[in-house]
Structure 1
């Protein structure tokens, strides 16, 4: 039986750095400093995999570290063409029970904000400097009843035209942008990871940046049979 390999984040960085281009290492450094664990998108029962992929791509592009998917619809695999690898850099958690998802997030100190058309406040009035889980509902019904009832706040993106709501991918982009804008304006930055968390995440990204990174580490250490 093979003994479990344990390494520190610094050991992983030192071992893999020669196998990653300088330009790629600089990009990882830049991304890690702007990663935000306090704004978490939650996709509730989305039908269209293209919409799921588009929201994940936007969230990753705006600095999100994590995302949650409440999987109550029969969906196919998210399109790699649309995400352009965003799902590779996001930590995704999938739930089957909407209530369990909301309860978990609230227990972790997140205010749960559901996009909703009824009894809702304008998006810009939400305080996104607080840890916030932003729930986006599906294309037909919006967020499910369980999420709407358990959410701490309901918000709506003000509409100035005749249409009642935006497409889910557009709503996700506008909402995530407002959250990051607020954090930049009020806190002076979007990223919120500690120095230790950034180093650990950097090591994780090194492993993901290298083809079969974990196997390469094993081979470089001479542990591969």
Structure 2
């Protein structure tokens, strides 16, 4: 599901106390001169490749380093958003490991696993839980469909509520003695398989239409500028 609409709640994006709403076109016109050409070109490239149809879900992960690593992988492969069930707040995730990925990935946190799964299914996602029992191989899942990939915690895997409610359980085939990969590795392999299939079968990974790309470009402009709240206030005051 695409998380934004036009006009954009710029005040919320910048953590401002006051409400500030602007159209995507207004945001781009206001900020483009304050973003380097190289950065603007990169934002265009990233927006064109963003995928709302593949969403990682972290189920009760203990280690914030693992959370950060999965977010970094997901962002690097084009994911727009992620969900976390009963885990550490996003602000505690290691910036060193994410390399800024948490700045570009929209996070939703849940306290009830069943509510998370139900909401994703209601939005049209097939929910695929990584699991060791009654599971099909990862590569047999059709990732051209909107898919939420649930990664379980380091000790117990996905919780029972998620395992029961998921549309599919999948396993990453192992060739050695160990039964499973580390959560960050499992996340990387799962996400890579998803984008590989989309590229191979659909010819591209990104799935945003032109309007969504225009809105997301404006959102990323807001996130790209330094001290965005002060800059936006100053620019608006100067143009008043």
Q: Where on the TM-score scale, by shorter chain, does this alignment land: which range?
A: over 0.9
- Name the CA distance, whole Å, in 2 between partners of 1:76 and 1:64: 19
Give me the whole-angstrom Cα distance separating, in 2, the residues matched to 1:76 and 1:218: 25
State the aligned residue count: 223
CA distance in 2, matches of 1:188, 1:74: 36
Gaps of 5+ in 2: 1-16
CA RMSD in angstroms comes to 1.8
How far residue 5 of structure 1 moved from its aligned partner, in angstroms, is 3.5
Report the counterpart of residue 99 of structure 1 in structure 2. Answer: 114
- Structure 1: tracts of 5 or more residues without a match: none
Distance in 2 of aligned mates of 1:4 and 1:128: 39
Using the TM superposition, give the Cα deviation of residue 66 of structure 1 relative to its aligned residue in structure 2, in angstroms. Answer: 0.5
Q: Which residue of 121, 127, 130 maps to 1:112?
A: 127
SS of the counterpart of 2:186?
A: helix
5 Å matches for 1:1-150?
4-72=19-87, 77-150=92-165
Q: Measured at CA, do residues 222 and 68 of structure 1 come closer, stay the same or move farther in structure 2, by a change above 3 Å?
A: same
In the aligned structure 1, how far is the partner of 2:129 from the partner of 2:79? 17
Provide, for residues 51-72 of structure 1, a one-character-per-residue CA deviation record: whole Å limited to 9, x for no partner: 0000000000000001000025
Q: Which residue of the partner structure matches residue 10 of structure 2?
A: none
What's the secondary structure of 1:222's corresponding residue? helix
* Inter-partner Cα distance in structure 1 for 2:130 and 2:36: 41
TM-score of the two chains, using structure 1 as the length reference: 0.95
Normalised TM-score (structure 2): 0.89
User: 2:90–2:107: 8 Å Cα contact kept in structure 1?
Assistant: no
